[in-house]
């Protein structure tokens, strides 16, 4: 069967690959043709990205807006012709943003721009007022005497740089992730952190955190970078700085979220599926275009392009995870339900839609040849082959840690953290040409992993 | 006297101009030395820009914040050693922003980001709700039958481009300036316009407008560009679009504003002064760094550098105008008080602090040689000589129209309308190196216009 397909594909590929350029014999011409067609003309990913961000907009985990996103997703995936379209629901605790504002009261009265962090405690409508105590890092906060912090509003700074590989989000995200718990345990009134972001816009970066070790929830917000700069300049004048914070967020208790799943059934239903994914929920400030409408769009577009080409040997399973942002609830629910089942590979797109520059895989020593073949097929897209032993992804992370196989197609992250978790995450930030390069790379990977695509009979007869 | 100074300046200039490069004999070496010293080392302009934006922050015309800015200005200009530091107060009607939000209710419920325009009517706390009727231009709105508009929320679009010379702000600003009056007279509930700006941030651009011809004030706001894009995409789906607007602005009645004035007294008090200016007030969303802290800073820094060098023949009068943004109140007050007095030239900086690229002047045919000398001295800064018959400026505009002499040093406006009248107008948007180039150009112009600088006796003896 596989040999037949390759032979047939050599014929169809002849028109896609110009005769003037001799191509690598290591890349299946059918795969190359699928890749190049996606690069030149994919419209599926844009349509999904545009549709979800326009017709649903923001879709915070566990809210009515995320439920509308699931309805939209089921309708869209069904219209696209996928099989077994379904929602796998799960429960989760739901937090929502309320009114929010921050004001420097002294020595130089002026408003500053803030966004509550996910799971922030509420200040109540009257807000909290206190003196700022400032730290250049979470380490400095951790080392501080409780007396220095008690009854004050903690400010934690950092200096996150923009990097192509996005490194730094882990390290420089510590003020957001660890700061609130430490500040609370030391008796702080509230905490404000410099946004975990790399831009200079007055669009603060939200993001989830949690109060651990029994820490009492306190108001916790992020200042935009220009506002953090301003606060630092004011602090450097040496006078006590007083701030008023209003962060009226709410915990709504347990609500339902869900993963939306659809499939391209493989010719051999006994083989483990290839899981292609992104997450459907978004933060509430923007419309979640790069985080992660483009991700779910890329995954589905690649699957759709394979389906258009014929029937893959293995099943391709599309998963649009729910509730990623608030704590990987969708990924953990999928793992609880399906984590023990074998998967041929897990892939997730959750890092925007700028060009993919590096391919990493963790397919095991026995499948090194498969991984190398993928690398060769991706090279013409300007993608370097990276690791053969490491793959990552947000929702799929826990299953990868459990030992599942995986592939990572790394997007260029240079401007990702300019936009990430801000109101600026909107459709205009998605570059259609780079989005097509993403789909081309994904289509290439899925085509090779699929085990071969059998063309529809109608087409064979042509 | 003047001859003596030139001779002395040749000596001092020797150290500033490297012997390896032969300089134009058409540029006074003393002027060149002042120019180059400013380019390489001016700190005055940065200190003023940083100080005003940090220690006062936003300073909306006629408010308590603008009064604090005047106090700050008087203190700063006095500390810098200027003479005759004073405030010339005037009255004006004061408008302030209140709570503001916008929400698409149907067909795809989601929030959008809006800012009230200056002088917007108030929606009251309950807001107004209505169907959107959309126009691609003010011309389309003007041509519409009243029935189409009555009881609806008008949306007016446009497609303003970014240009180096800032052209387009006049033409593409029509939706903001004319739209509200036209919409009100046709019975609209409210009007929202696409921000008069060139960026893709969720930071809407405010700006003043007025309800003319007896039009009843209605709520009037600007959507950020990504939100205007979103609204258009939703409208293109063809279903009726309903929006809820809350714009709770307030008219506070008549309050006091004022112009802050300081001088470098000339050796000949009978000669008309050179007026160097910018405006002290700012919009309330940002800290008014490029609009116009940098402007008042550049004007004062140039005057200070002349004062440091010695005593000019003519008086240099620094004017930091109040209440420019709400309608040139400061400029008109100055004109009412001093418009009949002769001025050697008027100059204003109110277009950010990116590099100056063009020099225009309106000094009259009799002073063509003076204008040409300025052009020659500015050329090494990369500044082209433009018009000899036209100059412009916001506050000084009416006096220039009255026939006063003037000079314009045109900043590069390519990114100006990305930031203009938004919360993003903060200190980080000012590039210190380009700011120094501005001061160098201004110092050059003022040095030449000054009629010659007599060095202090102490320095002469050296």
Residue B211 confidence (pLDDT) above 70: yes
Name which of A23-27, B60-64, B249-253 the model is least confident about.
A23-27
Q: How far is A289 from chain B (nearest CA, A)?
A: 12
Distance CA B204, CA B223 (A): 6
pLDDT of the residue at A23 = 79
Interface touch A287/B230, C-beta < 8 Å: yes
pLDDT of the residue at B459 = 54
Question: Which residue in B60, B110, B228 has the most chain A C-beta atoms within 10 A of its own C-beta, making it the best mutation to test that interface?
Answer: B110
* Nearest residue of chain A to residue B224 (CA atoms): A424
CA dihedral B334, B339, B342, B347 (to 10 degrees): 50
- Strand arrangement of the beta sheet that strand A110-112 belongs to: A110-112, A100-106, A242-247, A128-135, A153-156, A190-194, A220-223, A114-116
pLDDT of the residue at B35 = 97
Could you tell me which residues come within 8 angstroms of residue A401 by beta carbon, excluding any fewer than 6 positions away? none
Interface touch A424/B233, C-beta < 8 Å: no
E strand intervals along A203-351? 220-223, 242-247, 250-264, 274-279, 311-312, 316-321, 345-348
Residue B247 confidence (pLDDT) above 70: yes
Q: How far is B113 from chain A (nearest CA, A)?
A: 9
ipTM for the complex shown: 0.92
pLDDT of the residue at B454 = 95
pLDDT of the residue at B447 = 98
pLDDT band at B25 (very low <50, low <70, confident <90, very high): confident
E strand intervals along A242-334? 242-247, 250-264, 274-279, 311-312, 316-321
Percent of chain B predicted with pLDDT > 90: 92
Nearest to B57 among A57, A110, A237 (CB): A110
For residue A17, the tally of other CB atoms under 10 A from its CB is 15
Mean pLDDT, residues B328-353 taken together: 98
3-state SS of A392-415 is CCCCCHHHHHCCCCEEEEEECCCC
Residues of chain A with pLDDT under 70: 1-20, 457-462
pLDDT band at B3 (very low <50, low <70, confident <90, very high): very low
Residue B8 confidence (pLDDT) above 60: no
Residue B5 confidence (pLDDT) above 50: no
Residue B272 confidence (pLDDT) above 60: yes
pLDDT band at B19 (very low <50, low <70, confident <90, very high): low
pLDDT of the residue at A456 = 79
pLDDT of the residue at B26 = 86
pLDDT of the residue at A22 = 77
Q: What is the pLDDT of residues A103-159, one digit of tens each?
A: 999 999 999 999 999 999 999 999 999 999 999 999 999 999 999 999 999 999 999
Interface touch B226/A427, C-beta < 8 Å: yes
Comparing CA positions, the residue from B270, B249, B254, B243 lying closest to residue B128 is B243
pLDDT of the residue at A297 = 99
Mean pLDDT, residues B258-273 taken together: 98
pLDDT of the residue at B17 = 53
Residue A229: its chain B contacts at CB < 8 A? Answer: 426-428
Instruction: Confirm or reject contact between A230 and chain B (CB < 8 A).
Output: yes
Residue B390 confidence (pLDDT) above 90: yes
């Amino acid at each position: 069967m596989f040999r037949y397909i390759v032979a047939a594909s050599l014929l169809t590929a002849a028109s896609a690959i110009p005769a003037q350029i001799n191509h690598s014999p290591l890349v299946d011409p059918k795969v190359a043709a699928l890749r190049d067609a996606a690069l030149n003309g994919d419209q599926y990913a844009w349509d999904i990205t545009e549709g979800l961000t326009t017709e649903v907009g923001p879709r915070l985990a566990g809210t009515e807006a995320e439920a509308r996103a699931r309805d939209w997703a089921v309708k869209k995936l069904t219209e696209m012709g996928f099989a077994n379209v379904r929602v796998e629901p799960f429960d989760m605790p739901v937090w929502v943003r309320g009114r929010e504002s921050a004001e420097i009261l002294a020595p130089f009265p002026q408003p500053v721009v803030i966004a509550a962090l996910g799971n922030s405690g509420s200040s109540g409508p009257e807000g909290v007022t206190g003196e700022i105590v400032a730290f250049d890092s979470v380490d400095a906060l951790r080392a501080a005497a409780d007396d220095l912090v008690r009854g004050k509003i903690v400010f934690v700074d950092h200096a996150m740089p923009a990097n192509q590989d996005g490194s730094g989000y882990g390290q420089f995200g510590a003020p957001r992730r660890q700061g609130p718990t430490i500040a609370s345990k030391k008796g702080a009134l509230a905490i404000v952190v410099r946004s975990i972001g790399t831009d200079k816009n007055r669009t603060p970066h939200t993001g989830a955190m949690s109060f651990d070790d029994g820490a009492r929830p306190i108001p916790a917000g992020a200042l935009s970078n220009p506002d953090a700069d301003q606060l630092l300049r004011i602090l450097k004048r040496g006078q006590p700085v007083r701030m008023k914070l209003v962060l009226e967020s709410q915990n709504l208790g347990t609500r339902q979220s869900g993963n939306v799943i659809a499939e391209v059934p493989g010719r051999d239903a006994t083989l483990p599926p290839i899981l292609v994914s992104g997450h459907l929920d978004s933060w509430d400030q923007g419309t979640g275009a790069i985080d992660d409408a483009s991700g779910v769009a890329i995954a589905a577009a690649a699957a759709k392009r394979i389906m258009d080409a014929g029937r893959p040997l293995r099943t391709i399973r599309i998963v649009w995870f729910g509730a990623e942002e608030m704590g990987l609830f969708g990924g953990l629910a999928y793992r609880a339900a399906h984590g023990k089942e074998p998967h041929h590979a897990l892939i997730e797109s959750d890092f925007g839609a700028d060009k993919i520059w590096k391919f990493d895989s963790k397919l095991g020593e026995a499948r090194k040849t498969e991984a190398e073949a993928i690398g060769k097929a991706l090279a013409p897209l300007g993608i370097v082959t990276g690791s053969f032993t490491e793959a990552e992804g947000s929702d799929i992370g826990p299953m990868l840690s459990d030992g599942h196989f995986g592939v990572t197609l790394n997007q260029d992250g240079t401007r990702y953290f300019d936009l990430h978790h801000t109101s600026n995450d909107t459709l205009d930030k998605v570059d259609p040409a780079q989005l097509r390069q993403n789909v081309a790379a994904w289509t290439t990977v899925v085509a090779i992993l699929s085990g071969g695509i059998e063309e529809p009979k109608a087409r064979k007869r042509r």
